[in-house]
Amino acid sequence: MKQVTDKDVAIIILNWNAYDDTFECLKSLEHLTYPYFHVFLVDNASQDNSFDKLRQDYKDGKFNVPITFIQTGKNLGFAGGNNVAIKEAYKQGYEYFWMLNNDTVVDPNALTPLVETLEKDRQVGIVGSKIYYYGTNKIWFAGGKVNTWTGACAHIGFKEEDKGQYNQLKEVDYITGCSLCFRKEILETVGYMEEDYFLYYEETDWNLKSSNKGWKIVYIPNSVIYHKVSISSGGESNPSPYVAFYDIRNGHWMVKRTQKKYKWITSYLYRYYKALKKLIKMVVCNYDRKLIRIKLIVKALYE
């Protein structure tokens, strides 16, 4: 185990049945201009042999980056899997942590401005990147907004062509877990991400709790990554049935866990509006497995 310095960043990447995406992500890290980092690749019990293949690739010298491989033994969800690696990196003494989706490719300068911002202002707890759709100049994320009355979240600049309109560093409501860099004090003052969300809203919950503790949440436009968007959940045009379940249920859980009680009522009522929209979209877009989708939406409202 190498000696960790206060400049070292633990890059946390979660793999689940995605050999090609994770391989490309790791290869892109070879070109980072920021030299002080170590990758913690954690696997949520993949069934496609991707974890073993990636580990063998590392032994064969195919990655020119330092990697620690961690196997969870079962699918712990987004927060659970990431937390395993974060805990290991924290135990080793890392000051900064960069959660990065495995279906991303990073610009060589992506990490440097994230660390510089954290070092410049000790009140900044979480920072994140400008994120494009993979292979395009179209924005997927330029900071996040949260309506704390309803639990509705939105990406600033979503699907806009980038013309420089979001090139200003600014405080935002949340940073997406697709590219989220934070200082270790977040773990010490807020704790780890809530694992029972399993998928969606866990990092938004975490951002809001951090903000409630006085930490600044900052979007950094000159940190750029490219995202293949929702590969593991079926993509934007054909989401898996469970996406609606976690979206409806977890949005309300987030409000209950981060906001005053009077906002719980409006959030709960909003779940029914959201469920109706999803049912209509299911019919209009002719999604498959309609009965399963309806059952999961009802189950989400119940929970």
What does the mean pLDDT of the chain come to? 94
Q: Nearest 5°: phi and psi at 222?
A: -90, 10
Q: Nearest 5°: phi and psi at 176?
A: -70, 145
pLDDT exceeds cutoff 60 at 232? no
Tell me: the pLDDT tens digits for 274-302? 889 888 888 888 888 888 888 888 888 88
Q: Which of 134, 127, 111 is nearest to 215 (CA)?
A: 127
Two tokens, residue 64: 């020119």
Tell me: the pLDDT tens digits for 151-203? 999 999 999 999 999 999 999 999 999 999 999 999 999 999 999 999 899 99
DSSP state of 1: -
Query: pTM of the full predicted structure?
Result: 0.93
Topology of the domain comprising 9-233:
Spore Coat Polysaccharide Biosynthesis Protein SpsA; Chain A (3.90.550)
Q: Which of 48, 46, 85, 45 is nearest to 67 (CA)?
A: 85
- Burial (CB < 10 A; 0-12, 13-18, 19+), residue 181, is buried
Tell me: the pLDDT tens digits for 8-22? 999 999 999 999 999
Tell me: the pLDDT tens digits for 199-224? 899 999 999 999 999 999 999 999 99
C-alpha 93, offset from chain centre: 22
Q: What are the sequence ranges of the domains in the chain? A: 9-233, 241-302
CB-based contacts of 95, cutoff 8 Å, min separation 6: 6, 7, 8, 9, 183, 184
- What residue has token string 């899997």? 81
Q: Report CA-CA distances (Å) from 110 to 106, 179, 224, 286.
A: 6, 10, 5, 39
